[in-house]
């Protein structure tokens, strides 16, 4: 009987190709389906983002309205093509989240072995914060996207024996585009100082071809000069890029506590757009193991960068609590470090015993199942049924599109947002009362004229404020 050689089996030889293919399919499915399954409507931040994006024009850009410019351009085209809908508002984040998911896989695969990067990528992609970012129609996802992209490009430059100038050019272009996102100016400065003070990266920089390096430098200087001129003409822009609107220094520590409260709230829920706990306890423990494992060989670029990113995350969270979501990037790296440490320790116990190595698959499968499946269920049901979270989202837009066709709609709040509906529907959006045979009012109007009779109230499944639209009919001659 021929001896069975496991290493020659098809499934064993192509296990990582099969694994990454399955993971890729899951990522695409999750990101295109789950944002509509989980978040029950739109948040105020999503409506504000859609309004700012749709009315973005050349005049606004010349007037200094350049904050989150790349994302807003993408969202503007999405709304223009598909009309004002929840999916059109979220589509830019879905597409960016799709790229972000693959970038995380590529980045971890650059720094860790395939088994570690595959497993850690699964844990992050299935995590609540990642799914929330990809399903939120706000530029918040760019806060994670740009650093991940820059780190991957940097790893490509660092990892090549003869770095290709093309990667250097792409890195420079992405670095320039990233500074339009708030707080990314700090990350650009962080990248520069990290390269200057990290010995290995400093050596690589010295060995790059001089001409491409000079051209990249000139390109960056020209780009930052144009950005600087815009900021000088419109000083308020620099405040939004460096801090946030109405930022006060005395709020710094309070913002950090508020931003990270959902991360550590494993026993209760908090009123926020972030579902608590944002990270499951097993995943958090795994990240802590990874953090401690990086103390050995800390000055290696791969080890020290996670700690530096945590410090960077704390700083920008002090400016805005929502910036705490940036922690997903250092979390990804620390989870990979933790998995690497656990697998090495297990294999170190049985260096020559293949059966002991294979037996580790069973507890690992159970462990990953306990971390991934609860995160998915928490994301699906938490955002829909948790009252502290569900009340942060509104179904008004969905109710309007389903129940109104060509009526006049009186809107007293978020008028500019709902006004966008006129470009893709037969609705007429007004913000002052006009006499008409039939009028729909978004919300309750106490001083309605007596000539109008309430025909019906259109509601939503929400527990609070479920009365969305009041339909009135003109009845002047009814009593005659």
Q: List, in order, residues 6 or more apart from 112 with CB less than 8 Å away.
A: 120, 336, 340
Instruction: Kindly list the strands in the beta sheet with 438-442, ordered across the sheet, starting from the edge strand earlier in the chain.
Output: 428-430, 408-410, 438-442, 467-474, 452-459
Q: Specify the pLDDT at position 48.
A: 92
Q: Residue 382 phi/psi, 5° resolution?
A: -65, -45
- Indicate whether 297 pLDDT > 80: no
The whole-angstrom separation of Cα 200 and Cα 311 is: 22
Give 117-144 pLDDT, tens digit per residue: 888 888 888 888 888 888 888 999 999 9
Distances (CA, A) of 386 to 15, 22, 35, 373, 394: 39, 31, 16, 18, 14
Distances (CA, A) of 194 to 12, 204, 310, 327, 401: 40, 13, 14, 19, 50
Q: Specify the pLDDT at position 309.
A: 86
Strand partners, 436: none
Q: Quick count: other Cβ atoms within 10 Å of Cβ 242?
A: 14
Which residue is listed with tokens 């530096």?
Answer: 308
Q: Are 122 and 372 in contact (CB under 8 A)?
A: yes
Q: Specify the pLDDT at position 354.
A: 66
- Indicate whether 280 pLDDT > 50: yes
Question: Reduced to 3 states, what is the DSSP secondary structure of residue 453?
Answer: strand
- Write down the pTM of the prediction: 0.86
Q: Specify the pLDDT at position 90.
A: 92
Alpha helices in 83-179 (DSSP H): 86-111, 114-125, 128-135, 142-159, 165-178
Give 417-470 pLDDT, tens digit per residue: 999 998 888 888 888 877 777 788 888 777 777 778 888 888 887 766 778 888
- Name the pairing type of β-strands 408-410 and 438-442: parallel
Q: Of 191-205, 287-301, 351-365, 417-431, where does the model show the most confidence?
A: 417-431
Q: Specify the pLDDT at position 200.
A: 67
Tokens of 387: 């009252």
- Indicate whether 6 pLDDT > 60: no
């Amino acid at each position: 009987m021929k001896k069975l050689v496991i290493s020659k089996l098809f499934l064993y030889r192509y296990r990582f190709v099969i694994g990454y293919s399955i993971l890729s399919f899951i990522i695409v499915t999750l990101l295109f389906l789950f944002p509509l399954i989980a978040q029950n409507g739109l948040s105020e931040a999503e409506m504000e983002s859609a309004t700012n994006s749709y009315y973005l024009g050349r005049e606004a850009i010349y007037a200094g309205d350049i904050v989150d410019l790349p994302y807003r351009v993408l969202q503007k085209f999405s709304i223009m093509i598909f009309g004002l809908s929840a999916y059109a508002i979220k589509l830019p984040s879905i597409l960016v989240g799709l790229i972000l998911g693959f970038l995380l896989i590529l980045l971890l695969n650059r720094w860790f072995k395939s088994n570690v990067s595959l497993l850690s990528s699964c844990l992050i992609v299935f995590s609540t914060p990642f799914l929330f970012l990809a399903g939120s129609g706000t530029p918040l996802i760019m806060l994670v996207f740009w650093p991940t992209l820059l780190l991957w490009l940097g790893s490509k430059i660092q990892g090549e024996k003869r770095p290709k100038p093309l990667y250097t050019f792409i890195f420079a272009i992405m670095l320039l585009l990233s500074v339009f996102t708030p707080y990314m100016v700090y990350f650009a400065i962080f990248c520069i100082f990290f390269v200057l003070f990290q010995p290995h990266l400093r050596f690589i920089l010295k060995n790059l071809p001089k001409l491409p390096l000079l051209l990249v430098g000139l390109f960056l200087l020209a780009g930052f000069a144009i950005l600087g001129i815009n900021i000088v003409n419109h000083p308020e822009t620099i405040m939004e890029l460096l801090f946030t609107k109405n930022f006060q220094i005395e709020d710094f520590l309070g913002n950090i506590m508020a931003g990270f409260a959902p991360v550590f709230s494993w026993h209760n829920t908090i009123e926020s757009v972030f579902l608590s706990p944002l990270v499951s306890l097993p995943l958090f423990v795994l990240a802590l193991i990874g953090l401690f494992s990086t103390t050995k060989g800390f000055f290696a670029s791969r080890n020290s960068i996670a700690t530096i990113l945590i410090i960077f995350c704390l700083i920008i969270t002090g400016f805005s609590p929502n910036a705490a979501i940036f922690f997903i990037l250092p979390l990804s790296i620390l989870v990979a470090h933790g998995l690497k440490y656990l697998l090495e320790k297990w294999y170190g116990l049985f260096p020559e015993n293949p059966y002991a190595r294979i037996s580790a698959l069973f507890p690992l499968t159970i462990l990953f199942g306990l971390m991934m499946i609860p995160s998915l269920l928490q994301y699906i049901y938490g955002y829909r049924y948790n009252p502290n979270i569900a009340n942060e989202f509104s179904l008004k837009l969905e109710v309007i599109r389903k129940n109104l066709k060509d009526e006049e709609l009186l809107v007293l709040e978020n008028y500019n947002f709902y006004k966008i509906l006129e470009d893709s529907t037969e609705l007429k959006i007004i913000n002052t009362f006009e006499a008409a045979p039939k009028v729909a009012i978004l919300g309750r109007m106490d001083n309605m004229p007596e000539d109008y009779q309430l025909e019906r109230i259109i509601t939503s499944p929400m527990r609070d404020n479920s009365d969305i639209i009041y339909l009135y009919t003109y009845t002047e001659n009814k009593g005659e």
